[in-house]
Amino acid sequence: MARTPSPGTVAVDEYLARVPAPFRGALETLRRTIRAAAPDAEEVISYKMPAFRSHGMLVYYNAYRDHCSLFVGSTATQRRFAAELKPYETGKGTLQFTPGHPLPPGLVRRLVKARLAENAGRHSK
């Protein structure tokens, strides 16, 4: 039997429906990759952006006029993966990418798994 989508999932669907096509495809791929890496995480809208939460916020993502962003939410995690992130524009907690140069799914999975571990460790204390 199919599960009823959560209000967060419906809100994310509505957000993505308003994103221009090239960026929407990139964000939908990112969303599937995050969901696969954190299947028990809850989808939410936070700070007007789609996000995933599990024992605290995991990651946010968003589309802008000329790029997309994945907000890792942890400078420690971002530093841990710094070598792999060199090809991308980075800022404090954010990774910028374009539909033509998306984040590799394997890297996204590792980032999300690292955030899951970080949140679980903080939650268990």
Q: Look at the alpha carbons of 30, 31, 32, 37 in this order and tell me if their dihedral is positive or negative.
A: positive
Tally DSSP H helices, then E strands, for the chain.
5, 6
Q: Assess if residue 27 is contained within a domain.
A: yes
5 pLDDT higher than 80: no
Q: Assess if residue 54 is contained within a domain.
A: yes
93 pLDDT higher than 90: no
CATH code of the domain covering residue 43: 3.90.1150.200
pLDDT of residue 121: 79
61 pLDDT higher than 80: yes
Q: Assess if residue 113 is contained within a domain.
A: yes
3 pLDDT higher than 80: no
Number of domain units in the chain = 1
Q: Assess if residue 91 is contained within a domain.
A: yes
Rounded to an integer, the average pLDDT of 28-50 is: 96
Does residue 57 sit in helix, strand or coil?
A: strand
pTM, 2 dp: 0.90
Which residue range(s) make up the domain with 18? 7-124
